Amino acid sequence: MKSFATTTHELHFPAGELSGGEFVRPFECPERWQHVVDALAAQGFEAPVEPTPVPDSLLARVHSASYLDFLSHAWEWWTAAGFTAPALPSVIPARRMQQREPAHIDGKLGYYAMAIETAITSGSWHAAVGSASCAYSAAAHLQAGHSSAFALCRPPGHHAGIDLYGGYCFLNNAAVAAQHLLDSGALRVAVLDVDFHHGNGTQDIFYKRDDVLFVSLHGDPADAFPHFLGYADEQGEGAGAGFNRNYPLPEGCSFEKWSAALNDGLQHITRYAPDALVVSLGVDTFEHDPISFFKLATDDFSRYGDSLAKLNLPTVFVMEGGYAVAEIGTNTVNVLQGFQGS
């Protein structure tokens, strides 16, 4: 399985994030990337290759023009306003407030943010583009006739919507991969999100479309970030009605219960008969993840990798979350090996 990765991810690493009312070292840190690279090498995978830059036109098929303009200029506008610390929103347009983009960068941050833990720094835009380039290149590898590919994306992407960022995400890498596959001739693509947190951004992008089936297994939003999306009754709108499947699962969820939901989701994917599969591969379902509450063990990742292979679909794996840093490499590679072994 060919892998794509780039060291431009190092350009994004804020000094801290808000968690539990405190300013702490971000859980989404550069070491995550390195642990996965090391685990790939230890298990005999070829070294990841540098991706081809993602076309601006593809990003514009996934995100709004105003949002891309904001992301690409946010740091410039922030420093021009006299600020030097990492950019964080200080006000969010809540209910019954104007949903109108302000002129000042302080207001723009709140307008486009879905959460206030994710800071923008001088290198965030370049790191996000590099991450999206990995997903684009992995999808192009499939389009060239290969059966699978792995995009080691950092920063992750599945919380980034049409015009919003947060949850460590700026550009939606899985959506970039899916859209490129569609633009290259696929009629239908399935996106399976196995990250602990709901892929609210991916749902947002494809919610009114029938050319992408979105299936997500995640912590019940009543108790887990992002809280305000990911319920089972969210099934799509308009042309997309019936093409969105959410499986909110409870605290302490075991692999047996999780895999039962996965098997149901895989049946929906089989009936949909997509031309390709994009997997938002978050391994924060691990039992020792510090910001999640599922109970999957290391061996369970191999087991469900095998289940994904049985779909017999061209498959792109796109790295998302996983914050038990010491184990992220083993858990990620176990999924890929389970898939390849099958």
Burial 19-35 (b: 16+ CB within 10 A, else e): eeeeeeebbbebebbbb
Active site residue 63: no
- The letter for the amino acid at 318 is V
* Alpha-carbon distances of 322 from 139, 155, 156, 341, rounded to whole Å: 22, 12, 10, 23
- Alpha carbons 68 and 209: distance in angstroms, whole number: 21
- Alpha carbons 232 and 212: distance in angstroms, whole number: 18
Other CB atoms within a 10 A radius of the CB of residue 194 amount to 26
Catalytic residue among 159, 197, 198, 218: 159
Q: Please calculate the CA angle 35-165-137 and round it to the nearest 5 degrees.
A: 55
Question: Measured on CA atoms in the order 154, 158, 164, 168, is the torsion positive or negative?
Answer: negative
- Which residues are CB-neighbours of 204 under 8 A, at least 6 positions away? 161, 162, 164, 229
Q: Please calculate the CA angle 112-117-121 and round it to the nearest 5 degrees.
A: 75
Other CB atoms within a 10 A radius of the CB of residue 315 amount to 22
Q: Which residues are catalytic?
A: 159
